[in-house]
Structure 1
């Protein structure tokens, strides 16, 4: 599980649906949630999580997508398996793992130190911990 330290910047709610914005390093992230802990408030520090299998990688990406979250990183490690491969990306000093098929890794011709875009939907992001600060 990937862990991202972030700060809540905005909360929009309508009935039981919540759209929460975060500041992660110099990036903005968005999460959608049905149930939001009442301790989650603006300016609160949180630990976010994202499954490695929920991250899509893009190379030379241009265009628009419906995925709310986009991070720019650099490939720092590759663990190539027979069917699945782990791609470790450095995003401003935070290591984030994406698990993709080895076929996709080969098709994209991914290599170490290459720039990469990490994409994931707002529904794939979750709050693991809420800081007591």
Structure 2
């Protein structure tokens, strides 16, 4: 399993009921993260980590959805196995990997160089302080 890792700048932190809410800027895009621990200072560079199986793919923008991390990327490669396909995305100079079923890949009809949206739930992202 591949762990995606991208760098950003921590712009905001809120705390309520034992949960931290982070806003991290990644080259102009904001990622929202929920996490139980903290230790990062605002305006510090942080790393965001999330598993490839926590990354969903959409061909079109989705506005009415509870997932707040929806970002555009370009399909760089597709590696299909018997049941699963690994999609490699290029996002602002970072490689992001998504693991989807072949059935989903066929339904979406995604091809190399297509522009797609990748979605990651806030609870699925881990913030690591530099």
TM-score using structure 2 length: 0.94
CA drift at 1:61: 2.6
Summarize deviations over 1:90-131 as a string: whole Å, max 9, x none: 11111100000011001111100000000111000002x322
1:20 equivalent in structure 2: 22
C-alpha RMSD of matched pairs (Å): 1.0
Distance 2:100 2:16 in 1: 35
2:99 equivalent to 1:99: yes
Partners of 2:78 and 2:96 in 1: CA distance: 12
- In structure 2, C-alpha distance between the alignment counterparts of 1:63 and 1:130, rounded to whole Å: 31
1:71 aligns with 71
Structure-2 separation of matches of 1:15 and 1:61? 32
Change (3 A) 1:6 1:110: same
Paired with 1:56 and 1:30, the residues of 2 have a C-alpha distance of 16
Structure-1-length-normalised TM-score: 0.92
SS in 1 for 2:61: coil
Q: Which runs of 5+ in 1 are unaligned?
A: none
Give the aligned length: 128
Partner in structure 1 of residue 43 of structure 2: 43
What is the CA–CA distance in structure 2 between the aligned matches of 1:123 and 1:130, rounded to whole Å?
17
CA deviation profile, 1:4-37 (whole Å, cap 9, x unmatched): 101100001114111010001121001001222x
